[in-house]
């Protein structure tokens, strides 16, 4: 079964990354969640990636703060798409994680989202867009979600709209 592997560097990252998982639940997309660290448990990270690939992981999401090497470490161990979610923490409040995640060397791509909750949510949507390339049902759900979001904008506007008379 195809699924998305959500990996984070520490338990404290769950507060933000739970928003990613909520999106997968909404769309009935299979996922796994694991805490593993590029620095503190590199063997665990490597073993999980190989195992997850063998069981159908199509996309990996790596979330970490500060040095934020998890997504890059994942990218070094798989040729599957990797999405990085930089998280706040440390003296630079997420800017350090953003730069660590986005500045990958040539031929080691990591699609980098924004810092924090928006990045967590966008990582789920981006992972689903990748999976929807082979899954017409998921593609249809994503299209329907876009239509509903556009309708919500119109509804919200209608509640406060003022036009020149």
Binding annotation for substrate: 10, 13, 40
Residue numbers in the known binding site are: 10, 13, 40
DSSP per position, 15-52: HHHHHHHHHHHHHT--EEEEE--TTT-HHHHHHHHHHH
**Interhelix angle 70-77/42-55, nearest 10 degrees:** 50
Structure-token match 């800017």, residue found: 95
Return the structure tokens found at 143. 């299209």
Compute CA 53 distance to the chain's CA centroid, rounded to the nearest angstrom.
17
**Across the chain, where does the E strand assignment appear?**
3-8, 31-35, 57-65, 82-87, 111-112
How far apart CA 85 and CA 98 sit, in angstroms, is 8
Q: Which residues contact 21 (CB under 8 A, 6 or more apart)?
A: 6, 31, 33, 124
């Amino acid at each position: 079964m195809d699924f998305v592997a959500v990996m984070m560097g520490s338990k404290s990252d769950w507060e933000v990354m739970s928003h990613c998982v909520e999106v997968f639940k909404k769309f009935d997309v299979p996922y796994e969640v694991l805490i593993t660290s590029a620095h503190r448990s590199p063997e665990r990270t490597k073993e999980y990636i190989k195992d997850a690939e063998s069981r159908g992981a199509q996309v990996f999401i790596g979330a970490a703060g500060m040095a934020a090497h998890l997504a890059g470490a994942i990218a070094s161990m798989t040729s599957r798409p990797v999405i990085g979610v930089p998280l706040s923490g440390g003296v630079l409040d997420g800017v350090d994680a953003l730069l660590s995640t986005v500045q990958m060397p040539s031929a080691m791509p990591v699609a980098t989202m924004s810092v924090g909750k928006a990045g967590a949510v966008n990582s789920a949507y981006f992972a689903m867009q990748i999976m929807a390339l082979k899954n017409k049902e998921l593609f249809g759900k994503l299209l329907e979600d876009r239509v509903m979001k556009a309708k919500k904008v119109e509804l919200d506007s209608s509640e406060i709209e003022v036009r020149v008379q």
